[in-house]
A and B are shown apart, each in its own frame.
Chain A
Amino acid sequence: MFKKPLLQKMLSQTQVFLTRVMSPPYFFSFAEKCLPWFVAVFVAALAYGLIGGLFLAPADYLQGEGFRILYVHVPCAFLSLMIYSVMAVAAAFGLIWRLKLAFAVMRQSAPLGMVFTFLALVTGSLWGKPMWGTYWIWDARLTSELILLFLYLGILALHSALPNRRLADHATAILVLIGFVDIPIIHYSVNWWNTLHQGSTLRLLAPSLIAPSMLYPLLAMTVAFCAYYAIALILRLRCALLSESGAR
């Protein structure tokens, strides 16, 4: 008896909050304030990550100097999953609360996610050649990551194939939500199947399996790539919102 009005009240309050926060004027003011900070974080983290990763971190006892691909491969792979997760959240927000900015975030994130997935696959294959003796193997982690690349391509193709913007946004959002099933498969593929790809080195609830002198530059590079995503997304969103308002 009490639950329904409370839930309705919570949903309507959330909608009011999201409609205010995710309105284009609020976004433009947020973008103007935050962009310099993201650029500062990006430059500082990238400088520390590159110096630490290329000069300060010692060579790996097993992989020698070849392990230095880690500093671009891991952040790219992390971003490929993170961007898809952001897209899935944006798709859900767009479908539930009909927020235009949420659909714009989903749309503008897709090319960036595709680039990071492509880079994760290429850098991984460049790392695989000296370590495994092959550029490619149909391993569970590699194959599920390749499926993610096809998902990104499918999302971009579907959105551009539908002439009606509203229909394209809704259809793409549904595809993004269905495709989200691939994200846990990629993450847990190294645990669920016997793979050539190594298991997780960075763990949230346990000590990392990597020496601090190698770990800190890796974390810095990951932060730098996250800041890069924020910068690129803001730049793309600004253009998209401005050209949409001009078209109307």
Chain B
Amino acid sequence: MTMLLNFLKLNGYGIYVWPAYGLVAGLLALHLFLPWRRWRALNKKPKDAHAQTQ
């Protein structure tokens, strides 16, 4: 636990380093997720339309 906390603190620089990594990871994940979700929605459309007509 102490080792993990020491690692997260990064000698006092953790407060700058982890927000930077977190922001990069969050925004990049979002920009992969959004087109992937749109692609899935575009591919589902005909099926849903077919289901609605029935």
Contact = CB atoms under 8 A, between A and B. Distances in A.
Interface of A: 59, 64-66, 68-69, 72-73, 76, 111-112, 115, 118-119, 122-123, 126-127, 129-130, 228, 231-232, 235-236, 238-239, 242-243, 246
Given A123-B24, A242-B42, A232 B16 contact: no
Contacts of B42: 239, 242-243, 246
Contacts of B38: 239
Interface of B: 10-14, 16-17, 19-21, 23-24, 27-28, 31-32, 35-36, 38-39, 42, 45
Closest 6 CB pairs of A and B: A235-B35, A66-B13, A65-B10, A123-B20, A72-B24, A65-B13
Contacts of A72: 20-21, 24
B18 to A, nearest CB: 10
Given A65-B10, A238-B39, A242-B42, A130 B24 contact: no
A127 B39 CA distance: 36
A126 B19 contact: yes
Contacts of B39: 235, 238-239, 242
B30 to A, nearest CB: 9
Given A238-B39, A239-B38, A64 B31 contact: no
Given A235-B35, A239-B39, A246-B42, A65 B11 contact: yes
Given A65-B10, A65-B11, A115-B27, 8 more contacts: A65-B13, A65-B17, A115-B28, A122-B20, A130-B16, A236-B35, A242-B42, A246-B45
Contacts of A112: 31
